Structure 1
Amino acid sequence: MGHGGGGALSAELVRHLFLPAFGTEGDRLSDSARFTLGGARLAFSTDSFVVRPLFFPGGSIGDLAVNGTVNDLAMSGASPAYLSCAAVLEEGVEMSVVARIAEAMGEAARRAGVSVVTGDTKVVEAGHGDGVYLNTAGVGLVPDGVDLRPERVVPGDVVLVSGAIGLHGVAIMSVREGLEFGVEVASDCAPLAGLVQAMLAVTGDLHVLRDPTRGGVAAALNEIAASSGTGVVLHERALPVPDPVANACAVLGLDPLYVANEGKLVAFVPRQHAEAVLAAMRAHPLGAEAAVVGEVVADHPGMVVARTGFGGTRVVDLPLGEQLPRIC
């Protein structure tokens, strides 16, 4: 299970097993592949969704399948256009459940401005699945002049987060385990391409974007720090952690930095553009709670540290696996 959690074990599996087998270069691994085809700059991404339960406050596996792939494309600066959908159905799952999921996917695609244009269906025997698994792949166009990759991060860059963190993981755990935290916590599942376009309208010189899903903000920051050879300093008090998430994490013994999100992004922005980009984010419905949460430094390359409210610092490591399994 740890190898599927988006942390150090996942990275090890990809780099030391899959990449050598495929003969693929791994230096520029990101949320989507970027390449030129017929003169067009394209982004291409694929993702599988095995979340349990299939429906949760704020969304469903159908919403996740669309928004997850749309967001992976958006993190490359692409305008998502087309998706595929492959569904693996377990024998015995009710057709009404499959219909609800399909309808959720269609509505999510319309909201995101993409079309689901091809797909596949397979059925496995009862007991060999978990109701419904989905895979989506997507393609989008990358505008000229946009170059989002960790290698562009330099000391002095400002780290922005688009809003409250930890909502998706806590929402899944609340319904999976029947936990109550005094107020319903809903997933933040949402398509981020519009927010990214608003940011790029300010400047095409954003350095890197990442949606902090499995492994949370901590995993995203560690991956970027390692790829760029720089250090990241987080200001813990500036992190937008909503009270229900903080309370739930306190009860469960979790750190909000490691809890998954499905409708947030982390941005590394040149300091001279940070104020204008932050204003553009806050003017967008999905970035209204955007905040400056840290900065890039030359010290401790490849390491993320957090300055606590008490004046100390702590190391924010890359998680080994995942605190909450099966959240997407």
Structure 2
Amino acid sequence: MSHGAGGKASRRLVEGLFAPLLLSSSSERLADAAYVEIGGATVAFTTDSFVVHPLHFPGGSIGELAVNGTVNDLAVSGAKAHSMVVTFVLEEGLASSVLEAEVRAMSDALKRAGVTMVGGDTKVVERGKADGMYISTAGIGSPIPGVHVDARTVRPGDKVLLSGPIGDHGITILLARADLDLEADLYSDTRSVLPMIEAMAAQAAPGIRWMRDPTRGGLATSLNELARDCGLSVELNEEAIPMRDEVRGACELLGLDPLHIANEGQFVAIVSPEFADIALNAVQLTEGGDEARIIGQIRKDPANTVVVNTRYGGTRIVDMLVGDPLPRIC
């Protein structure tokens, strides 16, 4: 299960098996989406799969999640989603009402995102083989003018911008499974981050160095991947990281690090210092972006490392996710 959690095991699987055999002829660096030339035009392309359990949870469901996740992978790669295709893997015995609800949720999310579904496929497997429903998507989009996302452009002094509170999605899914006797007024943050990124790009495109939506593995894993790819250090201010009390409390009770908890409606960006305040203001003025914050900066040392300045005056090094504390969250 840890190989699908987005942390160290996932990275070893991709870099040790998939990339050498399947991507050896590609010059693209691994990211949430790839850019390809087709007939002289540049398009962004991404794919994703969704195996969340339960299918419906406070704040969203697998159908809505599939659309938002695809749109967001393109958005943080500097592209605006245009079209999608979808594959449903359905389990024998799935109630037609459940399927209809998820198709309707997907339709509504497509309308909100301004994306067109242009095709798909359906498969049915034996009872007990698919946990109700799995969804896979692929999406294409067009580059957002002026935005070029590349970890190699990150420099010491750049600022770390976070669009909103972390951990809502992962903890909501955990509580929705009823594995714990905890009550919390908490909802998944699943949504499209494209409006916030477009607003930021309109004001600060030249300063946007890198972006990522911190889903599986959380904020810590995304920033560790950045630190490794750019060879620099990411320094975070723990007090500046927005987080709901319910998330903090659940993590303290369960011994989890909120920085490793999945998000489905947030993005983290590295912005040059001269554009940081402009970018932050643009995000905060966009609907849903009022809790965006500058949470840290890029340092030269210690290289390839994420360091957190704690609220108690100390520092700690945060690694990417090891293991799989919250399986089947997206």
The normalised TM-score by structure 1 is: 0.97
Partner of 1:15: 15
Aligned-pair CA distance for 1:203: 2.0
DSSP 3-state at the match of 1:300: coil
Find the counterpart in structure 1 of residue 131 from structure 2: 130
Picking from 283, 290, 293, the partner of 2:292 is 290
Q: Which residue of 1 aligns with 2:31?
A: 30
1:260 pairs with 243, 259, 262, which one?
A: 262
Deviations 1:100-129 (A, max 9, x none): 000000000101110111100000011211
SS in 2 for 1:286: coil
Q: Does 1:3 align with 2:3?
A: yes
Gaps of 5+ in 1: none
Structure 1 stretches of at least 4 aligned residues deviating more than 6 Å after TM superposition = none
The 1-side partners of 2:58 and 2:239 are apart by 27
Q: Contact 1:4–1:321 (CA<8 Å) still a contact in 2?
A: no
AA at the equivalent of 2:12: E
How far the C-alpha of 1:173 sits from its partner, in A, is 0.4
- Contact 2:144–2:198 at 8 Å: present in 1 too? no
Q: What residue in structure 1 maps to residue 197 of structure 2?
A: 196
Kindly indicate whether residue 103 of structure 2 is the aligned counterpart of residue 102 of structure 1. yes
Matched AA of 1:129: A
Describe the SS at the equivalent of 1:36.
strand
1:275-328: CA deviation from partner (whole Å, max 9, x where unpaired): 010000100112110001100000111100100112111000011233211000
1:147-202 alpha-carbon deviations (Å, 9 max, x no partner): 11211111010001000110000100001135454432100000111111001001
User: 1:226-265: per-residue Cα shift (whole Å, max 9, x none)?
Assistant: 1011101000111101111111111211111100000000
Does structure 1 conserve the Cα–Cα contact (< 8 Å) formed by 2:85 and 2:119?
yes
Q: CA deviation at 1:36?
A: 2.3
Decide whether the 8 Å contact of 1:15 with 1:26 is kept in 2: no
User: Which AA in structure 1 matches 2:19?
Assistant: L
Q: CA deviation at 1:143?
A: 3.4
Query: Aligned pair 1:80/2:101, yes or no?
Result: no
**What is the rounded CA distance, in whole Å, between the counterparts of 2:189 and 2:13 in structure 1?**
29
Residue identity over aligned pairs, in percent, reads: 48
In 1, Cα distance between equivalents of 2:316 and 2:10: 24
TM (norm. structure 2) is: 0.97
Relative to structure 1, the CA distance from residue 26 to residue 293 in structure 2 (aligned partners, 3 Å threshold; closer, same or farther) is: farther
**Separation (CA, whole Å) in 1 of partners of 2:168 and 2:85:** 27
Question: Structure 2 CA distance, aligned partners of 1:165 and 1:97?
Answer: 29
- Paired with 1:20 and 1:212, the residues of 2 have a C-alpha distance of 25
Where in structure 2 are there 5+ consecutive unaligned residues? none
* Alignment counterpart, residue 247 of structure 1, candidates 242, 246, 249: 249
Query: Relative to structure 2, which stretch is displaced further, 181-190 or 298-307?
Result: 181-190
Number of the residue aligned with 1:222: 224
Of 284, 298, 304, the residue aligned with 2:306 is 304
SS in 1 for 2:10: helix
What is the count of residue pairs matched by the alignment?
Answer: 328
172-181 vs 104-113, which moves further: 172-181
Task: Check conservation: 1:304, 1:317, Cα contact below 8 A.
Answer: yes
Matches within 5 A, 1:308-319: 308-319=310-321
Q: Following the alignment from structure 2 to structure 1, what is the Cα–Cα distance between the partners of residues 77 and 113?
A: 16
1:156 aligns with 2:124: no
